[in-house]
Structure 1
Amino acid sequence: MLLNLDQKYLNSYDIIDITNNSKHDHLEVVQLGSWRCTKTYIPETVRFLSLRGISGITELHESIGKLDLLTVLDLRACHNLEKLPDKPRSILNPKLIRRSLPQERWFMNLEVLDISGCYLLDHMPKWVCELSNLKVLKGFVVGSMEQSNQFCQLVDLSKLNKLTKLSIRISVNISDPEVFSGFDSLESLLVLTITWGQNKYGMIPTYSLSKNLEKLDIRCYPEPEASKLQNPNDLQKLKRLYIRGGNVTKIPHNDNWKVEILRLRFLKKLVPIEWNEVRSSFKNLEYVEFVGCPRPRNFPNIDQDSWRKSSLQERESVLVPGNPHRMA
């Protein structure tokens, strides 16, 4: 492996000499940290490549997609990255040669792609939806539907049947419900993070989520009520619910939540409710926090932002609305 641990700026010529040296032909991990130059040779044996936080990168050469053994590509916080490489087109026409062509090499073994924090990206190329071995995808950009045939859309992710962790960033105003079609078909998806941009329409379409979700993290939600969340009856495996920032004024109330960990952060418009109401909505609650937002009335920990269930609190009596004799 080749790791840059403490050099803020690296000499590109030194790096080229190192990576062209025959003794490095079996490199499997390359992490260059804050290196600002991208014109370097990378051996095809690389399995892990991290260019995290390199501000000088604006685009990547298409040759990076031909690293057959690459399983992890970390481009997180490359703030000036404007586009992902385009998959090269074959110069051969299968109709002329009358036979099918072999599948072209392109990120054949990639399992983790992290492009979160790359805020200049405004679309996803089609090849992202062709990564059949992908398990983790962070920073997927939901762009305009006007050129949906040219770019990868959420509905196209339904082809990735191994995907277990997904984070998306919505960079355009959303009103078309078709944008979210395909979410519920991601049966392997366990962790989902959605970061909302500004929405001039004021309302977002209803969408369905994978029934196997275990963690849902919603950020900058544009509406006052998170009412567009799927019915808790269909999210019986959801154990962790995080809502951070945005215009939310009410906690999504339902008696059927199975959530054990509830994190509410920086919801400045949140209207306080009674602590008993929180406990009646989330009967399985083990931990809850209110950071940067109003806490419920009669909150057990007056001087703290969080509450954790203890052995003594397991017998806590909480009245269920509508039935004063039933305990949660």
Structure 2
Amino acid sequence: MRNKLIVYTMNFPYESKVFGDSPTFKDFRVVYNSLCVTTKLCLLCFAVFPANEVIKKRLLVHWWIGEGFLNPPVDGKETVVEIADGVFEELTKKGCIEPVYKKRRSVVRSFKMHRLNRSAVIVIAKDVRFVDFDSKGNPTANFSWSHRACLMNGSSHLTLANRPDLDPEKLQTIFNVNEAYPDFSEVDWSRLRNVKVLYLGRWHNRANHHIEVDDVEFFKGLRYMRHLIFFSLRGISRIMELPDSLCKLSSLRILDLSACNNLEILPETIGSLKRLTHLDMSECYLLEHMPKGNIALLSELQVLKGFIICDHKNDRSCTLHDLSALKKLRKLAINTSREDFPREEELIVFQQFGSLRKLTIAWGGLYLPAIQLDKRIKLENIAARPTTSNTLKSSGGNHTQDNAAPEPATPTGIRNYIPKIPSSLSAFKRMTKTTTRNQEHFKELEKLDLQCYPQMTAPSWLMPGKLKSLKKLYIRGGQLQNLGQVHENDKWTIMILRLKFFSELNLDWNELQVPFPYLIYLEKYRCPKLTFFPCDASGLWLKP
């Protein structure tokens, strides 16, 4: 019976009577019936994705928020993310989904679903009219009896909205599963005014999955979508400018523009998106500036990624000081081409970010260069700055050889960083002279990620006394020769430390242990002068 079940499941994922009558499906149905309504709806979303595909937790949470499955409780005791974590935990414990661990890290950021479980979820999703599927188990664009339409390769006919047997106003979600060339030329957007989730970009981490649109005229139809909460254009090419119609989305909370590598201009009226909580512009390498003052009007903003700080004065650009009005900002990712960032006055601004918990700073700015070890992944249309061939050379000497194991694929496909070599250190020296030890610029910060830091000496603010709440420190690429000064009575509170691509960082394991007494996880990669580190072949060390 088991062998027959496997054969039927491989050929007919969910429509066979053998599968429907199997103990596997019946057991899964019992588990499903034990879930609350919210958890059931969250589980059914997994049916849209292929079996065993790695799905980012963040994407699922945003989808659930968009559809209204998750809402913060009135008493404010839990956040939406904490509620979502409870959903993931329950689904994992009951065997519905599997967590995906990366390099033995304790924090799970992705999940996947086994083929048999997905087959069972498809059966249930059809029964409750969650979404439509074809005979091969692929979701379809047909929403004649559901509230969701999925775009599949070569079959994304949203012109179905013109059929007399469909009611476009009941459609709540449009999700692009794998359509590379979505065509919206015949879509009557005025009839899709109740859509809450519009996910047109790519959902997985394979950057070689190309998506492009021939015509951006469909953007004009966005003005009708007054109920849209989650909008994603992630990884779509040939979008050079976003129109003002985007800013008519009065209910929009999550806007994902990441990896839109042709995007050059943001609408000047973006500040009218008063309910926006998440704005992701990471990997939009052709963006030159942030609209002056308008981003600062997004008072509900909690996550801002891809914020640009230029190396030249521009009265049209939003500055770090402008962001100080965003009192709810808890995660900020900055790209800068300035060697002296942050200056003293900018360090003072950071003191005003009372809610900031995670900060990423990537030097190199508009032309953040990268060496991609995985040749299959290409970043198109990036104006790359010339780099020197010896930037990442490993130095010789009598030090222990660093691990050379290949690094697993990362979400962006970027493995290596080459910093811009500074022409002068005078500006940085002036900054360090005026900075006092007692100032706590990042007193609430829990995670700090520094990429391509362009100086040889660590910044004066990288010390325990100014980062008293820091738990995670990631430093990737650059010419650093040390990890900053640690005074006699200061100890880092850091528990997780990741160091990558440093040819000159000179440190012995015994020297590291004294200032980092709480360290439980260490990852090093291509750091030949980190000696006697008790890391395994993958460059990992976990506290016993």
| TM-score by shorter chain over 0.5 | yes
Kindly indicate whether the alpha-carbon contact (under 8 Å) linking 2:339 and 2:363 is maintained by their aligned counterparts in 1: no
Change in Cα spacing, 1:201 to 1:130, as seen in structure 2 (3 Å) is: farther
Q: Kindly state the Cα deviation for residue 302 of structure 1 after the two structures are TM-superposed.
A: 5.6
Percent identity for Structure 1 against Structure 2: 39
- Match among 454, 474, 480 for residue 248 of structure 1: 480
Q: Find the aligned partners of 2:476 and 2:533 in 1 and give their Cα distance.
A: 20
Q: What letter corresponds to residue 275 of structure 2 in structure 1? A: N
Tell me which moved more, 53-62 or 222-231: 222-231
Q: Kindly state the Cα deviation for residue 180 of structure 1 after the two structures are TM-superposed.
A: 4.5
SS at match of 2:334: strand
Q: What letter corresponds to residue 143 of structure 1 in structure 2? A: C
Q: Kindly state the Cα deviation for residue 173 of structure 1 after the two structures are TM-superposed.
A: 4.5
Tell me which moved more, 289-298 or 105-114: 289-298
Q: Which residue of 2 aligns with 1:201?
A: 424
C-alpha RMSD over aligned residues: 2.1
Q: Find the aligned partners of 1:180 and 1:253 in 2 and give their Cα distance.
A: 18
Q: Kindly state the Cα deviation for residue 116 of structure 1 after the two structures are TM-superposed.
A: 0.6
- 1:225-280 superposed Cα distances (whole Å, 9 cap, x missing partner): 21333431131110000100011122235242110101001112222x22111111
Residue 503 of structure 2 corresponds to residue 268 of structure 1: yes
Change in Cα spacing, 1:179 to 1:185, as seen in structure 2 (3 Å) is: closer
Q: Find the aligned partners of 1:144 and 1:223 in 2 and give their Cα distance.
A: 16
Q: Which residue of 2 aligns with 1:31?
A: 199
Q: Find the aligned partners of 2:535 and 2:260 in 1 and give their Cα distance.
A: 41
The TM-score, its normalising length taken from structure 2, stands at 0.50
Kindly indicate whether the alpha-carbon contact (under 8 Å) linking 2:235 and 2:259 is maintained by their aligned counterparts in 1: yes
Q: Kindly state the Cα deviation for residue 145 of structure 1 after the two structures are TM-superposed.
A: 5.3
SS at match of 2:245: helix
Larger Rg: 2
Richer in strand (by share): 1
Alignment of 1:9-158 (within 5 A): 9-14=181-186, 16-17=187-188, 19-20=189-190, 22=191, 24-33=192-201, 34-36=211-213, 37-40=215-218, 41-42=221-222, 43-87=225-269, 106-125=272-291, 126-144=293-311, 146-148=313-315, 150-158=316-324
Kindly indicate whether the alpha-carbon contact (under 8 Å) linking 1:221 and 1:247 is maintained by their aligned counterparts in 2: yes
Q: Which residue of 2 aligns with 1:170?
A: 336
Alignment of 1:272-311 (within 5 A): 273-294=507-528, 296-301=530-535, 303-310=537-544
Q: What letter corresponds to residue 361 of structure 2 in structure 1? A: I
Kindly indicate whether the alpha-carbon contact (under 8 Å) linking 1:4 and 1:31 is maintained by their aligned counterparts in 2: yes
Q: What letter corresponds to residue 39 of structure 1 in structure 2? A: E
Tell me which moved more, 137-146 or 51-60: 137-146
Unmatched runs of 5 consecutive residues or more in structure 1: 89-104, 311-328
Unmatched runs of 5 consecutive residues or more in structure 2: 1-172, 202-210, 365-419
Q: Find the aligned partners of 1:174 and 1:251 in 2 and give their Cα distance.
A: 18
Alignment of 1:221-236 (within 5 A): 221-236=453-468
The TM-score, its normalising length taken from structure 1, stands at 0.82
Q: Kindly state the Cα deviation for residue 44 of structure 1 after the two structures are TM-superposed.
A: 1.7
- 1:283-307 superposed Cα distances (whole Å, 9 cap, x missing partner): 1101111112126332223644111
Kindly indicate whether the alpha-carbon contact (under 8 Å) linking 2:226 and 2:251 is maintained by their aligned counterparts in 1: yes
How many equivalent pairs are there?
288
Q: Kindly state the Cα deviation for residue 144 of structure 1 after the two structures are TM-superposed.
A: 4.3
- 1:175-210 superposed Cα distances (whole Å, 9 cap, x missing partner): 754354411210100000000123433353447632
Q: Find the aligned partners of 1:180 and 1:55 in 2 and give their Cα distance.
A: 36
Q: Find the aligned partners of 1:304 and 1:46 in 2 and give their Cα distance.
A: 44
- 1:110-156 superposed Cα distances (whole Å, 9 cap, x missing partner): 000000111111211120111100000000000245234x3210111
Q: Find the aligned partners of 1:305 and 1:295 in 2 and give their Cα distance.
A: 13
Q: Which residue of 1 aligns with 2:131?
A: none
Change in Cα spacing, 1:243 to 1:180, as seen in structure 2 (3 Å) is: same
Q: Find the aligned partners of 1:302 and 1:163 in 2 and give their Cα distance.
A: 38
Q: Kindly state the Cα deviation for residue 55 of structure 1 after the two structures are TM-superposed.
A: 1.3
SS at match of 2:324: helix
Q: Find the aligned partners of 1:83 and 1:275 in 2 and give their Cα distance.
A: 47
Q: Find the aligned partners of 1:143 and 1:185 in 2 and give their Cα distance.
A: 21
Q: What letter corresponds to residue 112 of structure 1 in structure 2? A: H
Change in Cα spacing, 1:253 to 1:308, as seen in structure 2 (3 Å) is: farther
